[in-house]
Every structure is written in C-alpha cells, then in structure tokens.
Amino acid sequence: MSQNYNAAMLALGQAPSVIRETFEYGNRRAKEIGRENVFDFSLGNPSVPTPQSVQDTICRLVNTCDPIALHGYTSAIGAESVRAAIAANLNERFDARLSAADLYMTCGAAASLTITLHAILNPEDECMTFAPFFPEYRVFAEKTGATFTVIPADTDSFQMNLEAFEKMISEKTKAVIINTPNNPTGVVYTEENLNALCKLLREKSAAYGHPIYLIADEPYRELVYDDSTVVPYLTKLYDNTFVCYSYSKSLSLPGDRIGYIVVSPKMEDNRTMYAAVCGAGRSLGFVCAPSMMQQVIAENLGITADLNVYRKNRDLLYNALTEYGFRCIYPDGAFYLFVQALEDDAKAFCQKAREMELLLVPSDSFGCEGFVRLSYCVSTEMIERSLPAFKKLAESYR
Amino acid sequence: MSQNYNAAMLALGQAPSVIRETFEYGNRRAKEIGRENVFDFSLGNPSVPTPQSVQDTICRLVNTCDPIALHGYTSAIGAESVRAAIAANLNERFDARLSAADLYMTCGAAASLTITLHAILNPEDECMTFAPFFPEYRVFAEKTGATFTVIPADTDSFQMNLEAFEKMISEKTKAVIINTPNNPTGVVYTEENLNALCKLLREKSAAYGHPIYLIADEPYRELVYDDSTVVPYLTKLYDNTFVCYSYSKSLSLPGDRIGYIVVSPKMEDNRTMYAAVCGAGRSLGFVCAPSMMQQVIAENLGITADLNVYRKNRDLLYNALTEYGFRCIYPDGAFYLFVQALEDDAKAFCQKAREMELLLVPSDSFGCEGFVRLSYCVSTEMIERSLPAFKKLAESYR
C-alpha cells in the first residue's frame, strides 16, 4: 500500500521557500523595530497600482453587462472576442500574425506554463532552462514526470550560455523554457543571443528528427526601461514556439489570475498541439480563465501600469550600489537587481545584510551561486532610506 | 523518442463532448428555425443572475480598496481573513467546527478536485465514484496515474449502491468521490445512505490498515428545493473527509472561478494532508485563488442567487413529464432531471427527441445507460413552450 498522501506533493507543500521565509522574517522584524526600519527587497509583487482604466472597466462591465454572461463560463479556451482582440493587439505591436484560434486563455502565468508543459512532455522527455531561473519551472516540469535540466549561467553577461547548452542538449530534449526580461537578473536577452539559440534549436531538431519546443515565459515583456532595448517576439524567430503570458506585471493584476498561451501558427502540427493544450488544461482542472477578467483585459489592451516608477527605482538602486562598490548586472527590464555577494556564500552574505535590516534573497534557489536578488518593486522612498545600510554593508567587507 | 505531444492530453483535447456537441447543434439549429423553436436542455450553466449584492460588492471594493492589495497576490492558500469568514459561516450553518487553517481557497470546483486528488493519489491507488457521475471525475483522477472505478447505479432510487460498493472496494481504494445533490440526477443522498457509506468506509479503513478518503464534491449544496431535505455536512459523518466547494452555482458565478477545499480538522494527520494539498496546488500551477473574488465572496456569505426559479422549473417540468408518462427521478436538488429513455438506446432516443427540437443529453457519458439528462437552468418560459414537444415525443413511442 502507498502512503496516505502523494509524497512528492507533500514534499513541495512542506518545502521552505527562502523568499517567503525572508518576507515573514521581515514582518516579524517590523513589529520589533518598526516597519520604516526594515528594508524588504524579497518579494516580486507589483508595487504600482493597476491603471484607473482597469478599475473603471470593472465597474462599467458590472453596471452595464448581462450578469449571467459577465459571470458565466466562456468556452474552455476563452471567449472568441477576447482572443481575437488580443491577437489583433499582438499583430499591431509585433507583426505577430496571430488569429484568435492561436490563443488559449489561462488563469495566469503559472497556469500557462503547467498547461503547456503537460501538453507536450512525456516522462522520457527532458525540459531545459538557463540559470539563473524562476525556481517554480522545476516544480512545474517535474510534475509531468519529465527530467528538468539547468544550463549553468554565464556569470559575466547573464545572457543564455549557448556553449554549455550545445554540449548538454540531447535527443531527449523536448522543450526549452526561456524568460526574458529575466527573473532574477533583470537582463533582456539580446536579439543576437536569441537568434543563436533558435539556430541551434533548428539544427538539433533536424539532427534528432523531432521538434524541440521553445517556451517563452513573458510576464515581464512590457517592463523594459531603455527605449533602445528590443524584446523580439519569439514566434517570429522560431516556428515551434509557445508564448506564455500573464497580465500580472504589466497591469499590476497578479491576484486576478489572467493570462494566455500562444501556440504559434507556424508550429509543426499546430492544430494537434493546440488540442493537446486544450486536453492538458482540462485534465489539470482549468475549465475556463476568469470570465469577467477576460473582458476587462480585452478593453485594456496596450495599456500598462505606470512602469516609470520601476525605472526610477532601478536607476536609483543600480547607481547607488555600483557607487558603493557592488558588482550589479545592469537590468534592462523586470524589477530585479542581481548583485554579486561580497563573500562566496550568498546565504551568509544575506545573513550579514539582515544585521543592517536589509532583506535580500540568495541566488542559490535560482540555480546560480554567489549572488543575491533584490526586488525593486517597492516604494522609491524605502530605497532612499535603505541606501546607508547598503553602504555600511559594503564597508563591512572592506 | 516519444511523440511530439503528450498522447493522453491530446486525446482529451480531441475527445468530442456529447454535451458540447448537443449545445453546438442547438446553435446551428436556432439559426435555421429560430431560437424560440429550439428547446435546449443540454448545458448546466446557471440561468439566474448573481445577486445584486455581489455586483455592488465588486464596485465598492474597486472604489474603496487599495488597488495593490485588492488585485495583489494573497498567500497561496488564500487570504486569512477570507478563510476565517468562510469557516465561521460554515460553523454557524452546519456546526462544522472549522478554522481558517482547515480551508484552502481555489480557482473553482475543478481546481478543488484536481488539487485534492493529486495531494492524495499515487499511481498504484484506486479512486471510486458512484454512477451516474460527472464525467470529468474520471479525467481528473486518471491524470494522477491512479485507477478510476465506477460503482454501478441503483437505477430504482439513484441513491449510492452500497451493495455493489462493498463488493468492489479493495485494499487499493484510496478515495471515494461523492456528489450530493447529484449531477446528473438531482437526487440528494439520504442521511441513512450517507451514514451507511461512512460506516463501510470506517470498517474498510480498519480492515486495510489505511485511511480511505471521502471527497465530497458540493457545488450544488445550496440548490435544494424541499425544506425537509437535509444535506448533512460530511466532515461530521466521517473524519477523513475533504469537502470540495465552488460558488459557481450558489452565487451564479461560474466564470469567476472561486471555491475552496476543506481538509477536515478531524482527519488523520490533518496538517500533513493539508501540506500535501498545498504542494499539489503549487505543482499544478494554482498560485492563489482570484484575489478580488476572494474578498467578494467573504462579503456575501450566506447569500444565494434566487434559487426559487429553479424550484419552479423543476416542478413544472417534473409534473408535466410524469403526466405524459415519462419515468423521472424526483430531483430534490441541483438543476437536473434524469428521465428514463423510452427505448433501450438513450442516444437513439435523443435523436428522436431532436426531431421535436428537444435537445437532451444521453446518460451513457454519466456511466449509466438508458436515461437522459435535462438541465432545467433555463427560462421558465422555454420550458412552457417545450411541453407540447415532450408530449408528442411520449406519444410517438405509444
């Protein structure tokens, strides 16, 4: 007889999350010394409110729509009109050449990823990603029964390490997850780096005689701070691409759980792969994406929360920390700063930082040692108040 | 090398749903002969609007709350205050003796079920249910790798067939899903029937030396039409119970995806099992239940949509059909009527009904042959208009 529970699920439920542990320490500490004296850079939650137009749309729909339709099921794949509107917006912005039939609405980024992974992976397959990476990728991929392999980081540029990738890819490789702008580094992969990856994927697909799918996890697509930085639309660079998107960051709606999957129309056996996505969504229990939020999104396409706040925070923090002698990866996007720890052990460095009331996340859980992640989706004022502590931290290592 | 897709997911995505096929036939037929001449009883979607208080709460929260908090992540298990409010409501109504720590907020009933099943099942386990049953139970259970076994119906009473259950249960049986009020019959299991099931589960758990979990799928709990009918709260009858709930039907909010799991505080190793639920939710991609809807629900506890419409529909349809000579199971709850087909082959009977523009669902997909399901969550006026067609259908078999 098996155990009373599923052991893998229990292990996940009991696994301590460093990020959450840090956040909870911060709450306890705030009670002891006052919230204004704790500098919590642990959580990646939007700190900018959703646009007023989103708020207005919610109330307008509630006051004007048939409630049975507004709060009723859409079709499992999402409302046709919503999918058509999103496709049109992506076509306008990126010349993406999508139609409503290429989109599948989801309950946010995590759902986009798990549905895609379950649609394509079998237990004998391998899914790869590039370090440093969002740690839930491993949880999501391993739930399918497939193997999850991490390609070591290029700790100079934090672009994808394609040299290591070429050595590690094998006939078992079925999917590669990429995340640009990247959590936890904030780095935007260059077009050159992306093109080189896609070229390799094409060559290896041909050599192994089966498609290798590219899964682009893009919740930070709109969070790019330098006008010259381009985040290419991946379906244009590589045919066998799934794009996983969420409005959590761009519209500051993480709690409302709304996003989508794009199954590239140029994908081999596109309709078959789309059907596999539908089957995976059904079997995991995602019946339809939140229906009122589908309508809200469709009426707020092309709008974002005020992302200038993040740009300002990025500049403030990056400039100060480099001035104090920290080595930081320059972040073009997302809302994270990846900073080299001032000793080999990033966890010990984070403990030292705590003595100065700075709450940072060690990079180990992102698959890359010796760094710390700072989330700068916090108030600008807290960053300003925290700077003397960072200065003191740097000095303590001299 | 495996196939390009996961074959099980593709099969699910491509599987024709009789219910959906019937619904789509109805839409095509409506274009041909006019919507008013098609009598569509295929879909189980609420036909009563959500209460005005729900609509008002949404706008009030949008207009008064901090948008970052309202649209932000709650903790993965749901907001503490929301879980506490729901527990208090269940305690008041059912003396359920729950606390916030026993609840896990979900993205609706399907999520409640998949998370619970993945938390407890291993591939060597068996999950059982009683026919007739909601067909997605099989899809959800088999995704865990476990075996799914259907206990044949007692076609006289449509109570649980415990005689068959006692013969079929085995050491492999880990979980039993029950659904009362029942989809597709509308039958409410009697307290006697439930007590007998729980007694058997206790005996078999002792005999096999491991707990057998009862999973109570309860989206129709509040949809009960006879004041004397009691739907006992299952955690009071059996310790090792999970309650899976959704507000889809009681508040007519199926599209907004909000529900919960109760892990009974009396369950063996309660905290371990709760942690397994957390791990399963995490690995399937359910990060947190829709946050604004969590708050909306917490402010509308004890309220339901106007369920009297369903009672009226039930009485109208049941009385007319039995008068015409149909054998119908008297439905105490939900919004379904389960009617014996007038020939052995329920599919052929549904085809015959289509000639009279009556769209019914054959019972085969519910694990029970020879019946049809009518969803009476439709307008009363459509039912009135449909009655001559039912009369004609009955006469055509004389």
Evaluate whether B154 touches B160 at the Cβ level (below 8 Å): yes
Residue B42 has pLDDT above 60, yes or no: yes
From the number of C-beta atoms within 10 Å of its C-beta (0-12, 13-18, 19+), residue A108 rates as buried
Residues whose CB is less than 8 angstroms from the CB of residue B395 and which lie 6 or more positions away in sequence, other chains included: none
With contacts defined as CB-CB under 8 Å, which chain B residues touch A21? none
Confidence of residue B184 (pLDDT cuts 50, 70, 90): very high
Q: Taking the CA atoms of chain A, what radius of gyration do you get in angstroms?
A: 21
Q: Looking at per-residue confidence, does B240 or B3 come out higher? A: B240
Min distance A53 CA to chain B CA atoms (Å) = 11
Confidence of residue A17 (pLDDT cuts 50, 70, 90): confident
With contacts defined as CB-CB under 8 Å, which chain B residues touch A211? 4
Residues whose CB is less than 8 angstroms from the CB of residue A137 and which lie 6 or more positions away in sequence, other chains included: A113, A129, A148, A177, A217
Tokens of A253: 């709606």
Residue A244 has pLDDT above 60, yes or no: yes
Tokens of A329: 């990866």
* pLDDT tens-digit series, residues A326-338: 999 999 999 999 9
Element (H, E) at A106: strand A103-106
With contacts defined as CB-CB under 8 Å, which chain B residues touch A117? none
Within A235-363, strands assigned E span 241-246, 259-263, 336-340, 358-359, 361-362
Give the mean model confidence (pLDDT) for residues A346-371.
Answer: 96
Which CA distances in Å does A345 have to A301, A316, A370, A390?
A: 44, 26, 6, 18
* pLDDT tens-digit series, residues B336-366: 999 999 999 999 999 999 999 999 999 998 9
**Least CB–CB distance from B59: residue in A62, A70, A287:** A62
**Least CB–CB distance from B14: residue in A136, A172, A275:** A275
Tell me how crowded residue A324 is: count the other CB atoms within 10 A of its CB.
15
Element (H, E) at B246: strand B241-246
ipTM, interface predicted TM-score of the complex: 0.96
- Per-residue pLDDT at B230: 80
Q: Taking the CA atoms of chain B, what radius of gyration do you get in angstroms?
A: 21
* pLDDT tens-digit series, residues A29-60: 999 999 999 999 998 889 999 999 999 999 99
**Least CB–CB distance from B71: residue in A2, A59, A256:** A256
With contacts defined as CB-CB under 8 Å, which chain B residues touch A118? 6, 9
Min distance A283 CA to chain B CA atoms (Å) = 5
- Gap between the Cα atoms of A277 and A270, Å rounded: 11
Tokens of A136: 């839930």
Decide: helix, strand or coil at residue A245.
Answer: strand
**Least CB–CB distance from B256: residue in A71, A120, A275:** A71
Tokens of B69: 């908090």
- Gap between the Cα atoms of A339 and A394, Å rounded: 12
* Nearest-Cα residue of chain A relative to residue B247: A71
Tell me what the pLDDT averaged over chain A comes to: 96
Residue A1 has pLDDT above 70, yes or no: no
- Per-residue pLDDT at B201: 98
Q: Sheet harboring B241-246: ordered strands across?
A: B103-106, B259-263, B241-246, B213-217, B173-178, B126-130, B147-151
With contacts defined as CB-CB under 8 Å, which chain B residues touch A172? 1
Which CA distances in Å does B278 have to A9, B78, B257, B285?
A: 8, 11, 18, 11
Tell me the one-letter amino acid at B389: A
With contacts defined as CB-CB under 8 Å, which chain B residues touch A45? 72-73
With contacts defined as CB-CB under 8 Å, which chain A residues touch B119? 5-6, 9-10, 13
- Gap between the Cα atoms of A397 and A326, Å rounded: 11
* pLDDT tens-digit series, residues A110-144: 999 999 999 999 999 999 999 999 999 999 999 99
* pLDDT tens-digit series, residues B294-323: 999 999 999 999 999 999 999 999 999 999
Tokens of B149: 């076994």
- Per-residue pLDDT at A210: 96
Min distance A304 CA to chain B CA atoms (Å) = 14
Question: Cβ of A268 and B4 within 8 Å?
Answer: yes
Question: Cβ of A46 and B68 within 8 Å?
Answer: yes
Question: Cβ of B254 and A73 within 8 Å?
Answer: yes
Per the document, the length of chain A is 398
Residue A162 has pLDDT above 70, yes or no: yes
Tokens of A19: 């990020």
* pLDDT tens-digit series, residues A196-220: 999 999 999 999 999 999 999 999 9
- Per-residue pLDDT at A9: 96
Evaluate whether B243 touches B216 at the Cβ level (below 8 Å): yes
- Gap between the Cα atoms of A376 and A382, Å rounded: 10
Residue B330 has pLDDT above 70, yes or no: yes
Question: Cβ of A62 and B55 within 8 Å?
Answer: yes
CA A83, B69, B65: angle at the middle one, nearest 5? 100
* pLDDT tens-digit series, residues A246-293: 999 999 999 999 999 999 999 999 999 999 999 999 999 998 999 999
Residues whose CB is less than 8 angstroms from the CB of residue A82 and which lie 6 or more positions away in sequence, other chains included: A74, A105, A294, A295, A297, A298
Question: Cβ of B122 and A171 within 8 Å?
Answer: no
Residue B266 has pLDDT above 60, yes or no: yes
With contacts defined as CB-CB under 8 Å, which chain A residues touch B144? 6
- Per-residue pLDDT at A23: 84
CA A74 to chain centre: 26
Which among A6, A375, A377 is the top mutation candidate for probing chain B, defined by the most B β-carbons within 10 Å of its own β-carbon? A6
Confidence of residue A8 (pLDDT cuts 50, 70, 90): very high
- Per-residue pLDDT at B1: 54
Residue B267 has pLDDT above 90, yes or no: yes
Nearest in space to B376 (alpha carbons), one of B155, B26, B45, B109: B45
